[in-house]
C-alpha cells in the first residue's frame, strides 16, 4: 500500500467485498505465531476452573460491558433453549480489570496481539474504507483511537476473525441463502458491523451472520475462535458521513434521524444489555426477529 495507485486499487477491492457482505484478507504471519495465539486463547477455558470463571464473569445486562466471561447458557435462544457458547473478553487495555490466574502470565502477549490487530490490520482497512468513500484517508482512523475509552463486540464497526478450521459461522448471501465461511490458513475474515452501517448511511451494511452447530463430521471438535472487535470511540455520534462524495451520489438510507442517533457508548450499552435477554418480536421476514434499541430497529436472523 505504498503508492497512491496501490491504495486506490485496494480500496476498490474492499468496496466490492463489503458490498457483497464479506472481506477476506491473507496475512503475512508464520503459522507458529498464529498457533501461539490460539494456544493462549484456549487457556481461559481449558486452564480455568468453573468456580474461578464465576469470579470473573461479566455483568453484561447491568453494565453494558462484555469484559470477562460470557458463560454458557447466558443467552436465551428460543422456547427455553439457551446457548452453549463460552467467551472470554479482554479489553485492549489488559489492566482494565482482573484476570484468572492462568491468564496473567500471557497478558503482555495479549496486549501486543491487540496492538498488532489495531495498527497493522484495522488501520489499513479503515484507510481503504475511507478512500472507497472518497474521504480523507484517516477519516475513520481518527474516530477509532487505540487509547479511547470503550468496549468491543460485533455491533461495532469492524470485526476481525482469525480463520480456524471448525465451521460454524454462516453469512446471509445476496441470493438469500446461508453460506458457510470457509477456512483459509493464515487468513482473516473481516465483517462490517452496526456502526459502519450507521456511519455510511446503509451503504456498507452490517454483515448478516449467525453461528450454528458445525457440520456432522466436525461436531466432535471444539471450536475455538480468536477475534478482535472494533468500535468507534464512545463519544462518536453514529450519524452518516454526509461529506462523502460517494454517499452523496448513491443516497443515504439512515437508520434514524440525525437528531435521534445514539452515540457509540449508548448503542453498545443498549445492545449489550439487551442481547439474549430481551423478548423479541417476529418480523415480517421468515426467520427474523426484531427489537427496538435506542429507538432504532434491530433485526436478529435465526
Amino acid 139: pLDDT? 98
Q: 75: closest CA among 210, 224, 229, 221? A: 210
Q: How far apart are CA 187 and CA 220, in angstroms?
A: 24
pTM above 0.75, yes or no: yes
Cross-strand bridge partners of residue 289: 282, 300
Amino acid 280: pLDDT? 60
Amino acid 253: pLDDT? 92
Amino acid 5: pLDDT? 87
User: Scanning the structure block, which residue is given the C-alpha cell 462518536?
Assistant: 236
Angle among Cα 34, 220, 23 to the nearest 5 degrees reads: 40
Amino acid 33: pLDDT? 85
Burial of 166 (0-12, 13-18, 19+ CB in 10 A): middle
- Enclosing H/E stretch for 270: helix 264-274
Q: How far apart are CA 115 and CA 94, in angstroms?
A: 11
The x, y and z cell numbers of residue 68, run together, are 470477562
Q: Any idea which fold 4-301 has?
A: Jelly Rolls (2.60.120)
Q: How far apart are CA 291 and CA 184, in angstroms?
A: 35
Residue ranges per domain, the chain?
Answer: 4-301
Can you give the three-state secondary structure of 56-114, one letter per residue?
Answer: CECCHHHHCCCCEEECCCCCEEECCEECCCCEEECCCCCCCCCCCCCCHHHHHHHHHHH
* Alpha-carbon distances of 23 from 15, 101, 155, 272, rounded to whole Å: 9, 36, 17, 25
DSSP type of residue 181: -
DSSP type of residue 262: P
Q: How far apart are CA 162 and CA 169, in angstroms?
A: 12
Angle among Cα 89, 186, 68 to the nearest 5 degrees reads: 5
The series of mean pLDDT values per 10 residues for the chain, 302 residues long, is 83 89 60 90 96 86 76 65 82 93 98 94 95 97 86 75 91 87 87 93 90 90 92 95 98 92 89 64 72 76 68
Burial of 162 (0-12, 13-18, 19+ CB in 10 A): buried
Amino acid at each position: 500500500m505504498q503508492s497512491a495507485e496501490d491504495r486506490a486499487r485496494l480500496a476498490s477491492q474492499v468496496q466490492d467485498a463489503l458490498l457483497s457482505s464479506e472481506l477476506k484478507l491473507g496475512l503475512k504471519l508464520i503459522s507458529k505465531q498464529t498457533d501461539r495465539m490460539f494456544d493462549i486463547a484456549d487457556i481461559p477455558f481449558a486452564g480455568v476452573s468453573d468456580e474461578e470463571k464465576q469470579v470473573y464473569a461479566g455483568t453484561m445486562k447491568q453494565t453494558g460491558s462484555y469484559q470477562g466471561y460470557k458463560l454458557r447458557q447466558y443467552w436465551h435462544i428460543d422456547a427455553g433453549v439457551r446457548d452453549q457458547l463460552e467467551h472470554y473478553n479482554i479489553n485492549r487495555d489488559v489492566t482494565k480489570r482482573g484476570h484468572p490466574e492462568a491468564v496473567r502470565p500471557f497478558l503482555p502477549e495479549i496486549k501486543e496481539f491487540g496492538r498488532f490487530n489495531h495498527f497493522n490490520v484495522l488501520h489499513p482497512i479503515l484507510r481503504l474504507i475511507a478512500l472507497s468513500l472518497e474521504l480523507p484517508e484517516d477519516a475513520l482512523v481518527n474516530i477509532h483511537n487505540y487509547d479511547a475509552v470503550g468496549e468491543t463486540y460485533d455491533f461495532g464497526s469492524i470485526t476481525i476473525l482469525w480463520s480456524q478450521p471448525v465451521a460454524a459461522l454462516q453469512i446471509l448471501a445476496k441470493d438469500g441463502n446461508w453460506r458457510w465461511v470457509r477456512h483459509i490458513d493464515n487468513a482473516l475474515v473481516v465483517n462490517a458491523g452496526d456502526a459502519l452501517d450507521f456511519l455510511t448511511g446503509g451503504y456498507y451494511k452490517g454483515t448478516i451472520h449467525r453461528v450454528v452447530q458445525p457440520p456432522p463430521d466436525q461436531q466432535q471438535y471444539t471450536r475455538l475462535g480468536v477475534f478482535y472487535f472494533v468500535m468507534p470511540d464512545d463519544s462518536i455520534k453514529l450519524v452518516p458521513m454526509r461529506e462523502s462524495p460517494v454517499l452523496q451520489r448513491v443516497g443515504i438510507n439512515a437508520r434514524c434521524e440525525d437528531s435521534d442517533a445514539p452515540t457509540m457508548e449508548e448503542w453498545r450499552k443498549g445492545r449489550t444489555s439487551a442481547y439474549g435477554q430481551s423478548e423479541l418480536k417476529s418480523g415480517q421476514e421468515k426467520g427474523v426477529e426484531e427489537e427496538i434499541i435506542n429507538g432504532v430497529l434491530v433485526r436478529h436472523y435465526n
